[in-house]
Amino acid sequence: MFTGLIEDVGRVVSAGSLLVLETELASGLLSGESLAVDGSCLSVEKVSGRRVFFRVSPETLRRTVPFRAGAPVNLERPLRLDGRLHGHLVTGHVDCAGTVGAVRTQGDFSQVRISCPGEWHGLLVEKGSVAVSGISLTVAELVPGAGFTVTVIPETLARTGAAKWKPGSQVNLEFDIIGKYIQRGMECFGKQHGLRHKIEQG
């Protein structure tokens, strides 16, 4: 479990099913531990100096934005149970890729519009939380039929890869886990209620 607060921006050394990153966090990582890489929870295979090695599953490759050699990546270690939850509950299980549609500068802030597949729109709530490439952000506004906007503060722009987002950039999206459970529960309740109604009607 993660919080969406980025600890370091690493660099992709090589990509594919074997992913190699370079990061300041390497010295504190052990084989088998988890690390959120642009919002995707990956297991450390080994560490060598400043480099960290991962095996990336086909499911992860299918769901996430492809890693590219030389690209920066947002990194976060898991939340400690005795720590403070400063962002929101992030599982590190990416739901889909989104696309940056527009970036508008507002003083020291940046307003970003992001589109995503329609089937995920029901999990977006104005002023709710969303993880964008691992960054915990607040949904500023819903864009009907298109997606949502977020406002990125100067501290986030300085400490993450968000400053490099531009129209056309692809980002990993993870929607709020609490919203997913509520949606799933309502779907199951609806199916059970419908079946019960049919039985009662004979």
Same domain for 38 and 110, yes or no, is no
Range of the domain at 133: 96-182
Same domain for 58 and 111, yes or no, is no
Same domain for 103 and 177, yes or no, is yes
Does 3 reside within a domain? no
In this predicted structure, what is the pLDDT of residue 159?
96
Mark which of 43, 76, 109 sits at the end of a domain.
76
Burial (0-12, 13-18, 19+ Cβ within 10 Å), 127: exposed
CA 129 → CA 14, 75, 113, 135, 140, distances in Å? 31, 19, 15, 10, 9
Same domain for 119 and 169, yes or no, is yes
Does 151 reside within a domain? yes
Does 51 reside within a domain? yes
The Cα diameter of the chain in Å comes to 69
Which residue from 69, 133, 123 is spatially nearest to 98, judged by alpha carbons? Answer: 133
Indicate the pTM of the whole model.
0.89
Going by pLDDT thresholds of 50, 70 and 90, the confidence category of residue 197 is very low
Domains in the chain, number = 2
Does 195 reside within a domain? no
Which residue from 183, 68, 165, 62 is spatially nearest to 111, judged by alpha carbons? Answer: 165
136-195 confidence digits (pLDDT tens): 999 999 998 889 999 999 999 999 999 999 999 999 999 999 889 888 888 887 776 664
Does 144 reside within a domain? yes
Which residue from 50, 53, 49 is spatially nearest to 35, judged by alpha carbons? Answer: 53
Same domain for 105 and 32, yes or no, is no
Q: What is the DSSP string of 161-192?
A: GGGG--TT-EEEEEE-HHHHHHHHHHHHHHHH
40-69 confidence digits (pLDDT tens): 999 999 999 999 999 999 999 999 999 999
In this predicted structure, what is the pLDDT of residue 190?
74
Same domain for 66 and 100, yes or no, is no
Same domain for 171 and 107, yes or no, is yes
The CATH number of residue 134's host domain is 2.40.30.20
Does 83 reside within a domain? no
Does 173 reside within a domain? yes
Same domain for 117 and 161, yes or no, is yes
